[in-house]
């Protein structure tokens, strides 16, 4: 091959290399070469050490053993479902070695809210063995983007569970026949450990008031709160109409065998001083 031809080929290869390099560093070619980025690999909560994140001091109020235990089950039942499970198949839970603090926004609550809520919390605590502590009222309103750590409002700890009577204007998912919503937020540590640290329950104040004004309304109201506390602790809906966690309104007013079996498992998760 003539020297002029070799020089031309080398020049052309050089141009191609520069174009490829520019495309690579701009990100245009990387998906074609290596595949699109897997979003599951993006760092999330718990990937970085506590010193690099806005987290409370680990181990706050964590005892050396569970603070309570669920009662023995009268008969076995598998009529329950968990909202989230870990890689080993066990449910995501709160630590049983520390209490679950909660605050209440009562701005739109019925006058009897405290008696009803106390009864519902007592039943959820009894069935799960988890301990609850009432921290008083709050002006915080429910939010889809609620921060799990609010030191300016609640101090150097995970924000307490928020229980609020509200409206569909504030919580659009309460629109229609939905009377309540409940759920929790979790944290993942760099050692693979995951646990719930806080959560919220939102109750539709207008619908809740109508329930309380109906015959047997207080028992129904307590059952509604118990249902949402079941979600808060990690229970999902089930298709069994004999369970309180059934996904439609029913005659059930207490935790049934499946509900209790699920709550018992949620109350016996691992303890951890690391979060």
* pLDDT digit string, tens, across residues 10-59: 444 443 343 333 332 233 222 222 222 222 222 223 333 444 456 898 99
| pLDDT for the residue 138 | 98
Instruction: Let me know: does 215 contact 194? Beta carbons within 8 Å.
Output: no
Residue 54 — left, alpha, or beta (φ > 0 → left; ψ -120 to 50 → alpha)?
beta
Weakly modelled stretches of the chain, pLDDT under 70: 1-54
At residue 33, the pLDDT reads 22
17 and 122 inside one domain: no
Judge if 10 and 113 occupy the same domain: no
- Domain that residue 23 falls in: 3-41
Tell whether 51 is covered by a domain.
no
Find where tokens 């009529």 sit.
Answer: 79
The predicted structure's pLDDT at residue 53: 53
Asked if residue 115 and residue 28 are part of one domain, the reply reads no
Write down the pLDDT at residue 192: 79
Listed in sequence order, the DSSP H helices in the chain are 3-26, 30-34, 113-128, 151-154, 205-212, 217-233, 257-266
Q: Let me know whether 136 and 18 are in one domain.
A: no
**Total count of domains within the chain:** 2
Q: Is residue 227 part of a domain?
A: yes
pLDDT at 164: 98
190 and 134 within one domain:
yes
Rounded to a whole number of angstroms, the distance between the first and last alpha carbons of the chain is: 70
Answer whether residue 52 is part of any domain: no
Q: Does residue 180 lie in a domain region?
A: yes
Q: Are 17 and 94 members of one domain?
A: no
Q: Are residues 114 and 193 in the same domain?
A: yes
Asked whether residue 275 is assigned to any structural domain, the reply reads no
* Helix, strand, coil fractions of the chain, as percent rounded to 5: 35, 15, 50
Residues 107 and 224 reside in one and the same domain: yes
Q: Is 187 within 8 Å of 194 (Cβ atoms)?
A: yes
Q: Do 34 and 105 have their domain in common?
A: no
The answer to whether residues 150 and 255 belong to one domain is yes
In a shared domain, residues 23 and 90: no
Q: Does the residue 254 lie in any domain?
A: yes
């Amino acid at each position: 091959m003539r020297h002029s031809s070799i020089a031309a080929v080398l020049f052309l290869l050089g141009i191609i290399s520069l174009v490829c390099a520019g495309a690579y560093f701009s990100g245009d070619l990387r998906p074609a070469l290596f595949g699109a980025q897997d979003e599951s690999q993006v760092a999330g909560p718990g990937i970085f050490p506590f010193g690099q994140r806005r987290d409370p001091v680990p181990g706050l109020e964590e005892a050396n053993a569970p603070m309570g235990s669920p009662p023995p089950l009268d008969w076995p039942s598998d009529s329950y479902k968990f909202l989230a499970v870990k890689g080993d198949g066990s449910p995501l839970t709160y630590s049983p070695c520390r209490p679950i603090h909660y605050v209440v926004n009562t701005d739109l609550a019925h006058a009897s809210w405290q008696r009803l809520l106390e009864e519902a919390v007592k039943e959820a605590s009894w069935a799960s063995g988890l301990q609850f502590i009432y921290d008083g009222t709050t002006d915080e309103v429910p939010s889809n983007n609620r921060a799990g750590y609010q030191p300016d409002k609640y101090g150097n700890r995970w924000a307490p569970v928020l229980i609020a009577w509200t409206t569909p204007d504030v919580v659009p998912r309460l629109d229609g026949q939905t009377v309540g919503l409940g759920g929790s937020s979790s944290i993942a540590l760099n050692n693979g450990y995951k646990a719930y640290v806080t959560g919220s329950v939102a109750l539709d104040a207008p619908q809740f008031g109508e329930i309380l004004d109906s015959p047997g309304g207080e028992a129904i109201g307590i059952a509604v709160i118990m249902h949402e506390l079941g979600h808060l602790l990690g229970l999902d809906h089930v298709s069994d109409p004999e369970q309180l966690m059934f996904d439609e309104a029913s005659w059930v007013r207490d935790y049934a065998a499946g509900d209790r079996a699920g709550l018992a498992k949620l109350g016996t998760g691992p303890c951890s001083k690391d979060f």
